Amino acid sequence: MPIDFNPSHHFSVNLSPRIVNQRQYNYFQEQEPDMFVKSASSASAYDGIQISKKSFGKLQKTNQKVSLYTIKNKNGASVDLSDFGATIISIKVPDKDGQLRDVIQGYNDVTPYETAPVGHAGGTIGPCANKISGGQFILNGELFDLEKNKDNGRTHCHGGSEGLDVKLWSTKVLPDGIEFTYRKKDMENGYPGNVDNKVTYKLDNDNNLRIMYEAKTDKDTVLNMTNHTYFNLDGAENAHENSVYEHIVELPNSSTYTKNNEMSIPTGEIASVEGTPMDFREEKTIGDVINSDFDQLKIGSGFDQNYCIDDYDGKTVIEAANIKSKKTGIALKVLTNLPGFQFYTANHLGKTTQPAGKDGERYEKRSALCIEPQFFPNAINTPSFEKPILKPGEKYQREIIYAFSAS
């Protein structure tokens, strides 16, 4: 059975700090090429929110211009977003001393994202996040053969080399955020259906970044979008190997995970975290457990695992992860209404072919971590997993929240 994509679902979360209302307004007027301002009638609703736009370079393949949008709140916290891949380029939040720190890895212009994409950094991943075994799936009795871009041609991963994170999206400026849209054509990159994808980013004055995913299709299709931001809460300039070892992690609502085979594809078994290094229901420091003698850690060369979210119902936004830096005091809470998330400790960064990051240094192995809310990997081929199938007449509605604080 397909997942319930009922458009009548409205997601809410009792989160402190407060999460801004999801309604969309059209109060922005473009005042000059790179600045947007609110009309007087909306000023009280979005006090202090500013949005600006500047060039992020040109695509080498098409010579198309790429833009960088910055949303800044009244605290000075900000998020930079590119229309290439609907990508998060930077998130700056205050640390325990009130100093702004950029806490995600990225690059200074669009060229590395286009010509040397590293780990899909910050991008909107799709049409199907994570791996599909054999690069194939059957839908309504029809075999769909996808690009096999991973594991030496044995699997399809993150939508392939022409996934949503390397497409140029259309943009609309909202009072407190940016709305990106992209129409994937039928059979583009092997996936059926003309799919209208929408990703909306909103930043509020409590330093909460909300990501809302919506989509409609004209044919049955597979759809599983996520965000692939690499976090280092000590500051993204900490690019050296093992620089997230002192991060404290809690995964409070994950008592199980999907067990992987030797290619990091779920076997279909849902295993308990009890008595294993996978158990983060109480806080642990990454460096204390990442090198444990445990088969799943060896397969992933560190943490690279899909965790299941307890009490998932497809509607409720549930706390998935709490991450904290001892150094800066910055804390990140991740919430979602998706059934699982990939916890990844950037085990495969550090290749000599990587370009330098935004601070001039190459991002090395285990210099960041990712929390990627998603449907389970290879769900379309695994009988016991909920299927990320979107049908005509249904509306895909999913959400990720990054809530930042410092103490």
Q: Give the pLDDT of residue 47.
A: 84
Q: Give the pLDDT of residue 314.
A: 94
* 32/269 Cα distance (integer angstroms): 56
State the residue for tokens 């380029």: 89
**What is the domain extent for residue 84?**
28-406
Structural domain total, the chain:
1
4 found inside a domain: no
DSSP string, 284-340: EEHHHHTT-S-HHHHHHTS-EEEEEPTT--SSS-EEEEEEE-TTT-EEEEEEESSSE
16 found inside a domain: no
Q: Give the pLDDT of residue 39.
A: 43
Q: Give the pLDDT of residue 61.
A: 95
236 found inside a domain: yes
277 found inside a domain: yes
Structure-token pair, residue 85: 């891949």
Instruction: Tell me the HSE value of 17 on the side-chain side, using a 13 A CA sphere.
Output: 18
Q: Give the pLDDT of residue 244.
A: 98
* 222/36 Cα distance (integer angstroms): 36
Q: Give the pLDDT of residue 17.
A: 36
Q: Give the pLDDT of residue 16.
A: 42
9 found inside a domain: no
Predicted structure pTM score: 0.90
Q: Measuring CA to CA, which residue among 297, 322, 319 is closest to residue 309?
A: 319
Q: Give the pLDDT of residue 116.
A: 84
Domain with residue 101: its CATH number is 2.70.98.10
Element counts in the chain: helices (H) and strands (E): 3, 29
Digitized pLDDT (tens) for each residue of the chain, 407 residues in all = 344 333 333 333 444 433 333 333 232 333 344 655 444 444 555 788 999 999 999 999 999 999 999 999 999 999 999 999 999 999 999 999 999 999 999 999 999 999 987 889 999 999 999 999 999 999 999 999 999 999 889 999 999 999 999 999 999 999 889 999 999 999 999 999 999 999 999 999 999 999 999 999 999 999 999 999 999 999 999 999 999 999 999 999 999 999 999 999 999 999 999 999 999 999 999 999 999 999 999 999 999 999 999 999 999 999 999 999 999 999 999 999 999 999 999 999 999 999 999 999 999 999 999 999 999 999 999 999 999 999 999 999 999 999 999 99
325 found inside a domain: yes
Q: Give the pLDDT of residue 34.
A: 60
359 found inside a domain: yes
Residue 112 dihedral angles phi and psi, to the nearest 5°: -60, -35
Catalytic sites, residue numbers = 228, 372
Find out whether 105 and 246 touch, Cβ atoms under 8 Å.
Answer: no
Q: Give the pLDDT of residue 160.
A: 92
Q: Give the pLDDT of residue 45.
A: 54
251 found inside a domain: yes
